[in-house]
Amino acid sequence: MIQSFLLVGLPYAAVLVCVLGSIWRFRSKRFSYSALSSQFLEDRQLLWGSGPWHVGIFVVLAGHAVAFLVPSVWASLVSNRTVLIGVEVLGLGAAILAILGLVILTLRRLRNGRVQAVTTTVDLVVLGILLVQVVLGLLTAVTHRWGASWSTGTASPYLWSLATLRPDPALVADLPAVVQAHMALAWVILLLVPFSRLVHLFSLPVLYVFRAPLVVVWANPRRFERATAFVERIEARRYFLRATAGLAAGGALLAAGTFDQFVHFFFGPRMSEKQSADLMEKKLARLEQNAAQKKLELERTRQAYIRVAKVSELSPKKGRYFVDYEMRPALAFQGQDGLPVLRSAKCTHLGCTVGSDVDAQGRILCPCHVSYFDVGTGRPNPGAPAKDPLPAIGWVLMDADLNIVASRSPDGAVHGAPDPSQLQDLDVYIAKAPEGRRA
């Protein structure tokens, strides 16, 4: 019986009284229809009490309102773990802020003589009820966690049932006592609105935030100057505050939007076994490539001759890359006389590596700045960015027993004549000795 009164009768009674009472108060005591501010009696403690209280309760009520007005949207929002935790933390913080503010406001009412003089019993009752209400809400949040989530299936539909005049108290009848008390007290507060300074809920000075400041001055030139400077200062301050608020809001949105990414950036990836294996394989291949490069270098410091290829492996159409004694790229071709042609592949213009494909005119291309070099002479085409020919590199031909059969010095002089029938089986070497190296 009591429960059905608290869950159905009280809400309707409260709304009815609130609406009718407000109308009555507006018609009979119009000038009391405000917060009845006591700022001019005491403003320091008011700032530290009223500020936190209003900020805190605004955040909390906004959360309640969204959950009740659009429960499906809210439910999908808080189904995300991060959002749910964020909402709960924000709500708890705001509630604590509101309680702090209320405590300061209550102490102020009780201790300041000037404020006490204008304090009525209703004021103290309202303060007390508000304090109890916020504490109940805080208790609910702490003892029955994740209210942001479970309220969408209980309190929200219950409120909708009330609003659509088909009250369904069963939706909340089984909720814990602390939650029911919180709900009942909310209706009591609504009931009290027309009879207390809570009516300022309906007379919010919203435009105050946006309108330009008014300064009342005497019509006197000296004061006028001072007033102008004053207005300028106020305008600068308002601009600064508004802009800072905007930037802070933007910054908060930005932080919220990028936070997830950046935290995970530092957390580092947790790869699957296959991914790590693939990555390791790739890194190993690079290390091996690097090791091969080092081996080549070492070989070039230690060895008198270095094998390039078999003569039969050379082609007149496609050069074969090798590394010369200076660790620079070089190309080996088959010349027109069947003997090898070895040429540096480092472009004489700016040092790019020349391509290995021989075109119809017997030239190879440096792709960086389009220079064509003749394979036979090494000379660049007229008008090419490169001016100097690609240097020739001397070679030595050896048989399988490492006997030198023939050699060519960089200037083109051939020593010895290989037997044409055996030529294809010989190996091409470059030599460290000066006479075998290019000029």
Distances (CA, A) of 387 to 213, 214, 349, 371, 379: 77, 80, 7, 9, 8
- The residues pairing with 404 across neighbouring beta strands, listed in sequence order, are 398
Q: Calculate the CA dihedral of residues 188, 17, 200, 112 and round it to 10 degrees.
A: -50
Single residue of 189, 368, 404, 405 touching another protein by CB under 8 A:
368
Site string for another protein, 302-341 (x = CB under 8 A): -------------------x-x--xxxx------------
Regarding 354 and contact with another protein (CB under 8 A), the answer is: yes
Regarding 298 and contact with another protein (CB under 8 A), the answer is: no
Single residue of 114, 145, 223, 264 touching another protein by CB under 8 A:
264
Binding segment for another protein (CB under 8 A), chosen from 39-47, 71-79, 276-284, 393-401, is: 276-284
Q: Any residues with CB less than 8 A from the CB of 303 and at least 6 apart, and which?
A: 432
Binding segment for another protein (CB under 8 A), chosen from 99-107, 120-128, 271-279, 425-433, is: 271-279
In 324-417, where do the E strands start and end? 329-334, 340-344, 363-366, 371-374, 395-398, 404-408, 414-415
Long-range contacts of 358-365 (CB under 8 A, 24+ apart): 358/316, 358/317, 358/318, 358/319, 358/333, 364/319, 364/331
Single out the residue of 63, 135, 131, 57 nearest to residue 97, CA to CA.
57
Q: Which is nearer to another protein, 194 or 355 (CB)?
A: 355
Regarding 383 and contact with another protein (CB under 8 A), the answer is: yes
Of 8-27, binders to another protein (CB under 8 A) are: none
Q: Give the binding-site size for another protein (rule: CB under 8 A).
A: 51
How many Cβ atoms from other residues are within 10 Å of residue 245's Cβ? 10
The answer to whether the CB of 144 falls within 8 A of the CB of 176 is yes
Pairing of the two strands 363-366 and 395-398: unpaired
Regarding 265 and contact with another protein (CB under 8 A), the answer is: yes
Q: CA 275, CA 26: separation in Å to the nearest integer?
A: 72
Give the nearest distance from C-beta 352 to another protein in angstroms. 4
Q: Which is nearer to another protein, 316 or 385 (CB)?
A: 385
Of 184-243, binders to another protein (CB under 8 A) are: 236, 239-240, 243
Phi, psi of 272 (to 5 degrees): -70, 165
Give the nearest distance from C-beta 226 to another protein in angstroms. 18
Q: CA 147, CA 46: separation in Å to the nearest integer?
A: 32
Q: Which is nearer to another protein, 43 or 297 (CB)?
A: 297
Single residue of 15, 84, 125, 352 touching another protein by CB under 8 A:
352
Regarding 375 and contact with another protein (CB under 8 A), the answer is: no
Residues that bind another protein (CB under 8 A): 236, 239-240, 243-244, 247, 250, 254, 261-262, 264-269, 271, 275, 279, 282-283, 286-287, 289-290, 293, 321, 323, 326-329, 345, 347, 350-356, 366-370, 372, 381, 383-385
